């Protein structure tokens, strides 16, 4: 009788000892200068897969202006075949995206006439 009570507890102990995989996040810093009226790639390309327990692509990009003025517009683009497609639109130096696995890059655009220096971070599951 006592052994029948011990079986459910043993099963619970084995089940609780299994650790489920959590999505591992990477945060990278970058900096650069974007010329007036142009855009360029600030970070990437980088590929997000399910290999480390992520259920989808989750990207956060934060860009600040170095010096005076506002940060450049910040965008996230996804590679589809040989083309890049914008999946977010810039709002004051911040962009975030949650979508399918794939290859991505962070772009910045300077709408002003003079060059802008910037620094930023990108955080994504990998």
Does residue 110 lie in a domain region? yes
Q: What is the pLDDT of residues 68-99, one digit of tens each?
A: 889 999 999 999 999 999 999 877 789 999 99
Does residue 86 lie in a domain region? yes
Task: State which residues form the domain around 78.
Answer: 21-125
Proportion of the chain above pLDDT 70, given as a percent: 82
Does residue 14 lie in a domain region? no
Does residue 25 lie in a domain region? yes
Proportion of the chain above pLDDT 90, given as a percent: 64
The answer to whether the beta carbons of residues 96 and 61 sit under 8 Å apart is yes
Which regions in the chain score pLDDT beneath 50?
9-20
Domain count, the chain: 1
Nearest to 46 by CA among 78, 22, 80, 81: 78
Q: How far apart are CA 82 and CA 53, in angstroms?
A: 27
Backbone phi, psi, residue 16, to 5°? -75, -20
Does residue 13 lie in a domain region? no
What is the pTM for the complete model shown? 0.79
DSSP H helices in the chain: 2-17
Return the CATH number at 95: 2.60.120.510
Does residue 117 lie in a domain region? yes
Does residue 7 lie in a domain region? no
pLDDT at 44: 95
Does residue 6 lie in a domain region? no
């Amino acid at each position: 009788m006592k052994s029948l009570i011990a079986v459910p507890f043993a099963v619970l102990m084995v089940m609780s000892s299994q650790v489920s995989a959590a999505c591992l996040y990477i945060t990278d810093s970058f900096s650069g200068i974007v010329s007036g009226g142009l855009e360029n790639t600030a970070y990437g390309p980088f590929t997000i897969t399910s290999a480390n327990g992520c259920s989808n692509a989750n990207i956060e990009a934060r860009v600040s202006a170095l010096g005076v003025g506002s940060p450049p517009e910040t965008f996230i683009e996804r590679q589809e075949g040989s083309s890049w497609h914008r999946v977010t639109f810039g709002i004051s130096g911040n962009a975030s995206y949650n979508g399918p696995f794939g290859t991505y890059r962070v772009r910045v655009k300077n709408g002003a006439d003079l060059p802008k220096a910037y620094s930023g971070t990108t955080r994504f599951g990998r």
